[in-house]
C-alpha cells in the first residue's frame, strides 16, 4: 500500500504514513482487494501439498458411523439402565414383608423342633442295631416310631421332657 499524500510505501496495517504523518483512509474497493489477497494466501497455506495416498490411487474411503452415536446404541443402554433402576428400586425401596404374628412364629418353631427331634431319633436309632432307619414317625404322645430296613425291628423312642432322658424300647 502507498501513502495517498507523499506516495511512499507503507504497511497495509498502518493508519498513518511514516514519512509525512498523513492519516491513511482505505477505500472499500482497496479493502476488498486486501481481503481477497489474504483469503487467497490463507487458502493456499491450508491447501495440502500432496494428495492422500487413497486419492492418488483413485480409491474412495468408506467410513462407518460411530456406534456410540447411533440411535440403537443409545436406546439399548437407556433400556438397560431403566431395567437396572427398576431392579434396584424393587430390592431396596419396596415395603418390607408383613410382620410375623406370634401364632405363625410358634408354628414355625414347632416345625423346626419336630425336624430336629426326627433327626435326633435317626441318630439314636443308628446306635440300636438300626444303622439306616427306613422311617422315623412322630407319634401323638411325642414319642417316635423308628422302622428299620429289615422290617423286623421296630423301636419306640421316648423322651422324658422333665429330665431330658431318651429311652429306646423295642415295639
C-alpha cell at 98: 408383613
Look at residue 27 and tell me if it is in a domain. yes
Look at residue 17 and tell me if it is in a domain. yes
Look at residue 5 and tell me if it is in a domain. yes
Q: Going along the chain, which residue ranges are E strands?
A: 135-138, 144-147, 154-159, 166-170
Task: Report the alpha-carbon distance of residue 139 to residue 156 in Å, rounded.
Answer: 9
The pLDDT of residue 7: 76
C-alpha cell at 123: 441318630
Q: What is the DSSP string of 114-134?
A: HHHHHHHHHHHHHHTT-SS-S
pLDDT digits (tens, 9 = 90+) for 22-69: 777 766 545 545 556 666 667 666 665 555 555 556 566 677 666 666
Look at residue 35 and tell me if it is in a domain. yes
Range in 47-56, 77-86, 135-144 with the lowest mean pLDDT:
47-56
The pLDDT of residue 128: 57
5: pLDDT confidence band, cut at 50, 70 and 90? Answer: confident
- Does the pLDDT at position 79 exceed 70? yes
Number of structural domains, the chain? 2
Look at residue 71 and tell me if it is in a domain. no
11: pLDDT confidence band, cut at 50, 70 and 90? Answer: confident
Look at residue 93 and tell me if it is in a domain. no
Tell me the residue range of the domain where 10 lies.
Answer: 1-42
Look at residue 113 and tell me if it is in a domain. yes
pLDDT digits (tens, 9 = 90+) for 85-130: 888 877 766 566 677 788 888 888 877 777 776 666 666 655 555 6
Q: Which whole number is the average pLDDT over 117-144?
A: 64
- Does the pLDDT at position 163 exceed 70? no
Look at residue 100 and tell me if it is in a domain. no
Amino acid at each position: 500500500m502507498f501513502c495517498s499524500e507523499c506516495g511512499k510505501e507503507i504497511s497495509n496495517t498502518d493508519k498513518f504514513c511514516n514519512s509525512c504523518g498523513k492519516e491513511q483512509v482505505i477505500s472499500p474497493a482497496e479493502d476488498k482487494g486486501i481481503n481477497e489477497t489474504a483469503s487467497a494466501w490463507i487458502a493456499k497455506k491450508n491447501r495440502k501439498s500432496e494428495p492422500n495416498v487413497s486419492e492418488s490411487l483413485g480409491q474412495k474411503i468408506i467410513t462407518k458411523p460411530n456406534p456410540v452415536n447411533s440411535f440403537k446404541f443409545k436406546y439399548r443402554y437407556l433400556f438397560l439402565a431403566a431395567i437396572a433402576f427398576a431392579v434396584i428400586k424393587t430390592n431396596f425401596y419396596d415395603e418390607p414383608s408383613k410382620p410375623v404374628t406370634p401364632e405363625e412364629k410358634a408354628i414355625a418353631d414347632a416345625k423346626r423342633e419336630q425336624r430336629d427331634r426326627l433327626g435326633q431319633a435317626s441318630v439314636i436309632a443308628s446306635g440300636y442295631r438300626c444303622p439306616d432307619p427306613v422311617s422315623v414317625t412322630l407319634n401323638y404322645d411325642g414319642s417316635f416310631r423308628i422302622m428299620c430296613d429289615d422290617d423286623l425291628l421296630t423301636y419306640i423312642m421316648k423322651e422324658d421332657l422333665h429330665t431330658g432322658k431318651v429311652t429306646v424300647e423295642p415295639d
